[in-house]
A and B are shown apart, each in its own frame.
Chain A
Amino acid sequence: MPQIFHHSTNALAKTTIFGAIFILVAALWVAAEISRSSWNTGQWVEIQQPVQFSHKHHTGDDGIDCRYCHTSVETAASAGIPSTSVCMNCHKQIWADSPYLQPVRASFSTGKPLEWTRVHDLPDYVYFNHSIHVNKGVGCSTCHGRVDQMPVVYQASSLQMEWCLGCHRAPEKFVRPQDKIFDMEWRQENKTTAEIKDGKSLVNTNHIQPAKVLTSCSTCHR
């Protein structure tokens, strides 16, 4: 009886078995990369807003403090988005006729709030709170990047669980002195051993809770 399969098919069979494992691993890797990619997380994507509001102009060039507009960032879970009347503090007088500010003036005269598009949006099953981070030494730029250089705000971090945990496991790599929280130029991460040593002492003085507590599921999923 003649052989149905040629000798070379042996090799083919072996490669397919090996290849199947390889392809599976590769597929998993690709899936993981896709889930971490900005296509999935929305990182780096500049979101257009109803008003061309520029953080670069207002905070970088004019030096307005974050808290002037995001008033509740030190006291509440939400940082707060300024109401139209806060914009009008200044824009009643300067750039008062600018066409770019037409929606702001319309909102001010009708009382209908501006509808900004969210840039950062955690799923609703996650609990996040600004005040605890800001009061325990995590600066805005560590999570939001150089907002003072952004004409249009984008998400500078992935906001995935992995990212939160990376810091909650080792906060000493990120914390900074309390008077540098709003300093956009301060380093976003402690890298050298001396910096990490400073970080460790801040973790102690700020009484930051141990990683066991900070990585417990119910800290963020409550």
Chain B
Amino acid sequence: MQDQPKAKPFRSSSFFKDGLSSRQPVEGTIARGWLREDKELYTGKKTTTSPSAAAPLTSAIAPTGPTATTPNANASPSQVAAAYPDDVEKFPFPITEEILNRGQERFQIYCSVCHGMTGQGDGMIVRRGFRKPPSYHEQRLREAPVGHFFDVVSNGWGAMPSYASQVPVRDRWAIIGYIRALQLSQAGAQPATQTSGDRK
């Protein structure tokens, strides 16, 4: 009774040769509900390769703000988008306040250890000697499409590890929404950016 011969999480097994009680699914297996049809949601890549009209980056997180006056609305020149031709520029689902709050929480769990609470790249692990990541507030990253961020989190980027196994897809987008809010909050004193900053 105390120790029943059943498979529980993390318990080893003498039944299988590799000693693991949980089996690896056969390659190509898709669990119910995991059919990843929505390419933009699951990969952050455009469904069509032809570049669509560059959407204002801020529209998704500040839908009510006067986007035309925010610096980022103008700062989506084709040359930045051209650096990431396949990456989507719009969030695959609307970023609501609830999702921003979720994003803030998840950012502080998984990203702030290196990127710092405000995204300056001054997190605790960096202070302990990890390579310093670029600040989210530099021009290039403010202009990079959201799909690029998704790519970085899902597949890793240089010294930055992949977070695909730790952060589920929707949470990744929520984190990116929060990074956009951080960028806006540091971008200047425009009224629209102020409201976005307060929403966290």
A in complex with B: yes
Residues of A bordering B, CB below 8 Å = 62-65, 67-68, 71, 77-78, 80-81, 83, 85-86, 88-90, 92-94, 113, 115, 123-125
Given A78-B10, A125-B1, A125-B4, verify A63-B166 contact (CB < 8 Å): no
Check if B161 sits within 8 Å of A88, measured CB to CB: yes
Tell me which residues across on chain A come within 8 A of B128, comparing CB atoms: 62, 94
Contact of B159 among A65, A71, A93 (CB under 8 A): A93
Check if A93 sits within 8 Å of B131, measured CB to CB: yes
| CB-CB nearest in chain B for A93 | B130
Is B110 an interface residue when CB atoms closer than 8 A count as contact?
yes
Residues of B bordering A, CB below 8 Å = 1-4, 6, 8-10, 12, 20, 108-110, 113, 124-125, 128-131, 159, 161, 165-166
Tell me which residues across on chain A come within 8 A of B166, comparing CB atoms: 68, 71, 86
Check if B8 sits within 8 Å of A124, measured CB to CB: yes
Check if B125 sits within 8 Å of A124, measured CB to CB: no
Check if A94 sits within 8 Å of B109, measured CB to CB: no
Decide if the interface of chain B is mainly helix, strand, loop or mixed: loop
Check if B4 sits within 8 Å of A124, measured CB to CB: yes
How far is it, in angstroms, between the C-alpha of A68 and the C-alpha of B165 when the chains are bound?
A: 11
Given A86-B166, A94-B129, verify A68-B124 contact (CB < 8 Å): no
CB distance from A219 to the nearest CB of B (A): 18
Check if A92 sits within 8 Å of B109, measured CB to CB: no
- Return 8 A-B CB contacts under 8 Å, by A number: A62-B124, A78-B10, A83-B165, A86-B165, A94-B128, A115-B12, A123-B3, A124-B8
Check if B161 sits within 8 Å of A124, measured CB to CB: no
Given A83-B165, A94-B128, verify A63-B113 contact (CB < 8 Å): yes
How far is it, in angstroms, between the C-alpha of A17 and the C-alpha of B39 when the chains are bound?
A: 84
| CB-CB nearest in chain A for B9 | A78
Tell me which residues across on chain B come within 8 A of A88, comparing CB atoms: 161
Check if B113 sits within 8 Å of A62, measured CB to CB: yes
Check if B125 sits within 8 Å of A62, measured CB to CB: yes
How far is it, in angstroms, between the C-alpha of A203 and the C-alpha of B60 when the chains are bound?
A: 37
Tell me which residues across on chain B come within 8 A of A64, comparing CB atoms: 113, 124
Tell me which residues across on chain A come within 8 A of B2, comparing CB atoms: 123-125
Tell me which residues across on chain B come within 8 A of A125, comparing CB atoms: 1-2, 4
How far is it, in angstroms, between the C-alpha of A140 and the C-alpha of B99 when the chains are bound?
A: 25
